[in-house]
Amino acid sequence: MCVALPCKLVEIDGNRGVAELGGSQVKMRLDLLPDAQVGDYVLVHAGFAIEKLDEEEAHKTLDVLDELGWWE
């Protein structure tokens, strides 16, 4: 099973990006989402941003992960 996590993109440098997740920063490749912008929420799997999410959907997913104790 694979898990992709929603992260907020906070920095872009060419085809590389940095996003925030649970208070940590995550480095990723943006090759699959060349139109990604700082502030977008993206699903990250295996070091790649694979899909953009709207902010509401990202927060719903993060809230469920929080309820499950994902960050503990």
CATH number at residue 30: 2.30.30.140
Question: What is the domain range of residue 34?
Answer: 5-67
Model confidence at 21, pLDDT cuts 50, 70, 90, reads confident
Amino acid occupying residue 64? V
26 or 70: which leads in pLDDT: 26
> What average pLDDT is seen over the chain?
91
d(CA 61, CA 65): 6
- Is the pLDDT at 71 greater than 70, yes or no? no
- Is the pLDDT at 30 greater than 90, yes or no? yes
Task: Assign 43 to helix, strand or coil.
Answer: strand
d(CA 57, CA 47): 21
The answer to whether residue 72 sits within a structural domain is no
The answer to whether residue 31 sits within a structural domain is yes
Total domains in the fold of the chain: 1
Task: Assign 28 to helix, strand or coil.
Answer: strand
d(CA 41, CA 51): 9
